[in-house]
Amino acid sequence: MMQRPQVETADHAPHILVVDDDRRLRELLARFLQENGYRVTTATQAAEARAKIENIIFDALVLDVMMPGENGFDLARSLRENSDIPILMLTAKADADDRVTGLEIGADDYLPKPFVPRELLLRLGNILKRTPVVVEEERPETIKFGPFSFNFARGELRKDDELIRITEREREILTVLGSQTSGQVSREELSGSEGANERTVDVQINRLRRKIEQDPANPAFLQTVRGIGYRLVIDR
């Protein structure tokens, strides 16, 4: 079977969190949004979504209402206590009362299933346009961590003045980790242009650790963030 080509997404593209317990729909939504220029992270339930929201800055949330345990209404209501992240509610319930409930909670829009993917794209684009743009700090030319430095433009990793040989994937991982202002990056974001699975990402991280850590089993720079992914501890 011929595989579909991987989609490359710009680092500055809006980052969307898709929360839906339906695996097939979740994967289809992620692929569709990626094909239309968005960065996408997914979650299967409210607890997983909450953990990712605490550690990653998202531009919008596509949230299914009917999920086991804490449902989409409960999650949206909780988020609105201290966050104004744009929320597009997505649900099989098309009842007017449910739409009103979602909007009263603070959702920005409401789309009942089944839906035309193009409509979701338009509604998501509209709520993002209404959201003030947050200007991020300019990324430095070079980051430093301990005796190491990484130059983004040249893709070079050095230990003091010594050039360290790294693979293209290791260069990509350092670029993603070093560019993340919040410091923490999910395995999904580290999957790269080849779409590596989580296990492959872990193996690649361990290989990179052997090049930059004195004790790879107890990393000082490339640390694991339990339940999320990894972070690179950069000198500030």
Same domain? For 175 and 125 the reply is no
CATH code, domain carrying 119: 3.40.50.2300
Task: Based on the fold, state whether residues 104 and 75 are members of the same structural domain.
Answer: yes
**CATH code of 209's domain:** 1.10.10.10
Boundary (domain end) residue, out of 75, 103, 129: 129
Residues 157 and 180 in one domain: yes
**Mean pLDDT, range 214-226, rounded to an integer:** 90
**Residue 131 confidence (pLDDT):** 62
Any domain includes 34: yes
How sure is the predictor about 12, in pLDDT bands with cuts at 50, 70 and 90? low
User: 76-91 as b/e, with b when 16 or more CB fall inside 10 Å?
Assistant: bbebeeeeebbbbbbb
One domain, residues 125 and 200: no
The tally of domains found in the chain comes to: 2
Residue 134: inside a domain, yes or no? Answer: no
Same domain, 49 and 152: no
Residue among 185, 179, 157, 190 nearest 234 (CA): 179
Q: Are residues 125 and 146 in the same domain?
A: no
Taking residues 6-29, what's their average pLDDT? 78
Residues 157 and 56 in one domain: no
Question: Looking at the structure, do residues 119 and 188 belong to the same domain, yes or no?
Answer: no
Confidence of residue 214 (pLDDT cuts 50, 70, 90): very high
- 56/121 same-domain check: yes
187 within some domain? yes
| Closest residue by Cα to residue 208 from 156, 178, 171 | 171
Residue 35 tokens read as: 């094909």
Quick one: 52 and 119 in the same domain? yes
Residues 101 and 22 in one domain: yes
Residue 199: helix, strand or coil by DSSP? helix
Confidence of residue 61 (pLDDT cuts 50, 70, 90): very high
The β-bridge relationship of strands 156-159 and 148-151 is antiparallel
Q: Would residue 69 count as lying in a domain?
A: yes
pTM here is: 0.55
In a domain, 64, yes or no: yes
Buried b (16+ CB within 10 A) or exposed e, 8-20: ebeeeebbbbbbb
Range of 152's domain? 142-232
Classify residue 2: in a domain, yes or no: no
Average the pLDDT over 120-139 and give the result. Answer: 73
Residue 138's pLDDT is what? 63
Low-confidence winner among 45-49, 65-69, 217-221 (lowest mean pLDDT): 65-69
The pLDDT value given to residue 174 = 93
Q: Is residue 97 a part of any domain in this protein? A: yes
Using CA atoms, how far residue 134 sits from 11, 16, 128, in Å, is 15, 15, 12
pLDDT at 157: 95
pLDDT beyond 70 at 223: yes
Mean of pLDDT values over 141-168: 92
What is the pLDDT at residue 4? Answer: 46
Q: What is the mean pLDDT of residues 199-216?
A: 91
Q: Which of 72, 99, 129 is the last residue of a domain?
A: 129
Q: Among 97, 129, 161, where does a domain finish?
A: 129
